[in-house]
Amino acid sequence: MATAIANDPLIEELMKVDGKAEIVNGRIVNLLPEGGRPSYAAGRIAAALSLCEQVGCGFAFGSNVAFLCDLPNRKSFSPDAAFYVGPEPEMGFLPTPPVFAVEVRSENDYGPQAEREMAQKRAHYFAAGTLVVWDVDLQNEEVIAKYTSQNQVRPQIFKRGEEADAEPAVSSWKIAVDSLFPPVRSK
């Protein structure tokens, strides 16, 4: 655990929370459960990222893992999928943020207030050292908006039929945007 936050009582309290939560603005914020389609997409991304583990360049994570940080208004992140290059994971929370974070929109992630919150969270990721953040919107033609620490305002867009990357956070890794959607099955 990072030294600056090792004795933070909120971190100790977060360890006892049942479900997904983050520490934002000095309080624990419980996050809503994901629906089927967002959870499916996040799982596909985490599974594809796990292939990078085989070459020893980091660790892939799915939803409900806590990454600690030491920002004035945030002490943790819990992305829907992530890639981490810090120390080998132990039983506790990961001591530093991921280099690549994925936020998949759920039903409640739309509208002006949600847009402001997502932009603020991306800014927090970048301030904490994350290199790439994906905003995945399964209801939009522009499915993946890739923000980077070098371009935090104008994302690179990936649509169905394309392959998305996480450069420079995860070198030489790509995923087909179409793979984030469940296969259509005949009835």
Burial of 39 (C-beta count, 10 Å sphere; 0-12/13-18/19+):
middle
Q: Could you tell me the residue range of the domain that residue 138 belongs to?
A: 34-180
Q: How far apart are CA 131 and CA 71, in angstroms?
A: 16
pLDDT at 6: 57
Q: Is residue 131 part of a domain?
A: yes
CATH assignment at residue 40: 3.90.1570.10
pLDDT tens, the chain, 187 aa long: 444 465 688 888 787 778 787 788 787 887 877 888 999 999 999 999 998 876 668 999 998 899 999 998 999 999 999 999 988 888 889 999 999 999 999 998 999 999 999 999 999 999 999 999 999 999 999 999 999 999 999 999 999 999 999 999 999 899 999 999 998 777 7
Q: Is residue 123 part of a domain?
A: yes
pLDDT at 80: 95
Find the helix or strand (DSSP H, E) in which 37 lies.
Answer: helix 36-53
pLDDT at 156: 98
Q: Is residue 82 part of a domain?
A: yes
Q: Is residue 5 part of a domain?
A: no
Q: Is residue 8 part of a domain?
A: no
Q: Is residue 89 part of a domain?
A: yes
Best CA proximity match to 129, nearest among 68, 47, 175: 68
pLDDT at 2: 43
Find the helix or strand (DSSP H, E) in which 117 lies.
Answer: helix 112-128
Q: Is residue 12 part of a domain?
A: no
pLDDT at 3: 40
Q: pTM (2 decimals)?
A: 0.89
Q: Do 69 and 96 meet the contact criterion of CB atoms below 8 Å apart?
A: yes
Q: Is residue 27 part of a domain?
A: no
Domain count for the chain? 1
